[in-house]
């Protein structure tokens, strides 16, 4: 699975107190993609993935991902069948 992320976003959010009660959760507004450059950078990451996903390197990565998923699936199910 490929998931583009922003390592250095230009948008900034806020964290504020909801009330004087210390047990109330804070109000969190991440303000994702508020800055236009963040949107452009994120879309560029998606664009790069879609245009490069047919390369031989990505095909190997996909094969590796499938093998890992199958091995985890087998391990989980086999561990249920084998007594401790």
pTM: 0.53
- Higher pLDDT among residues 28 and 52, named by residue: 28
Spatial separation of the C-alpha atoms in residues 6 and 3, rounded to whole Å: 10
Domain ranges of the chain: 14-81
**pLDDT above 50 for 84:** no
Q: What is the pLDDT of residues 32-77, one digit of tens each?
A: 888 989 888 888 887 777 766 666 555 556 555 665 665 555 545 5
Q: If you write DSSP's letter for every residue of 6-72 in order, what string do you get?
A: -SS-S---EEE-SSS-TTSPPEEE--TT-SHHHHHHHHHHHHHHHHHTTSHHHHHHHHHHHHHHHHH
């Amino acid at each position: 699975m490929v998931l583009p992320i922003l390592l250095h976003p230009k948008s900034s959010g806020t964290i504020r107190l909801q009330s004087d009660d210390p047990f109330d959760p804070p109000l969190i507004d991440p303000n994702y993609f508020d800055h236009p450059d963040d949107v452009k950078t994120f879309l560029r990451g998606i664009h790069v993935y879609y245009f490069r996903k047919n390369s031989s390197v990505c095909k190997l990565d996909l094969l590796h991902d499938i093998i890992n998923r199958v091995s985890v699936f087998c391990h989980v199910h086999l561990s249920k069948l084998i007594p401790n």
